[in-house]
Copies of this chain bind each other. A is one copy, B any other.
Amino acid sequence: MSARQVELIELAESLIENFGLEAFSLGNLAKKANIRTPSLYKHFSSLMELEHIIISRGFLRFAKDLNHVIETAASDSDEDNIAALAAAYRAHALAHPQIYRLMTERPLDRALLIPGSELAAMDALLQYFDETPEQHDRARAAWAAAHGLVSLEISGRFPPGANIAGAWGVFIEAFSR
């Protein structure tokens, strides 16, 4: 990937976060880059390709954040560990809410993803739980619950007074061994 490509990708990422996922278009990206729309095709073959590069980068960054927590915050208390993982999940999603939406809301064209990127984030979670098939169910349920919590928060579904931290507390308790 050329330096110019990376520049444009990062510009696209900031476009998405600052103006919303719906503002993600070649026209808006070109405006931000001070070039014309057709010039972008010298760097990316299509919008879909660029989109899946951004999604892949999102997965890899997410995996990095989660793995960092798993490696550094290994406490004796399982509840503390789950709490740290949960906090990292929420913090990451709320730091990049629009790219999180891009990563999760629609089916993927997996052929366009950077190989291994999608699994990287999930592996961080699977690795925390045991590796038996039964624990895979547990890991997936925990993943889904965390995803549900952040996705409802991002789309503004909790009522104004809702104690979101309290709901996360229930989650942590439910998934501690």
Q: Which residues of A are at the interface with B, using a C-beta cutoff of 8 A?
A: 101, 104-108, 133-134, 136-138, 140-149, 151-152, 155-158, 162-164, 166-171, 174-175
Contact = CB atoms under 8 A, between A and B. Distances in A.
13 contacts: A105-B105, A107-B156, A108-B156, A134-B166, A136-B162, A140-B158, A140-B164, A141-B170, A141-B171, A144-B152, A144-B167, A148-B149, A151-B151
A147 B137 contact: no
A73 to B, nearest CB: 22
Residue of A133, A140, A169 contacting most chain B CB atoms (<10 Å): A140
Contacts of A108: 156
A40 B116 CA distance: 47
| Number of chain copies forming the complex | 2
Contact of A167 (B101, B137, B146): B137
Nearest to A101: B105
B141 A167 contact: yes
A169 to B, nearest CB: 7
Given A155-B104, A175-B174, A163 B136 contact: yes
Given A144-B149, A144-B167, 9 more contacts: A101-B105, A104-B152, A107-B155, A137-B163, A137-B167, A140-B162, A143-B152, A144-B171, A145-B171
Rank and list the top 3 A-B pairs by shortest CB-CB distance, nearest first: A148-B148, A137-B166, A144-B148
Contacts of A147: 148, 151-152
Nearest to A154: B107
A4 B104 CA distance: 37
Residue of A138, A141, A157, A164 contacting most chain B CB atoms (<10 Å): A141
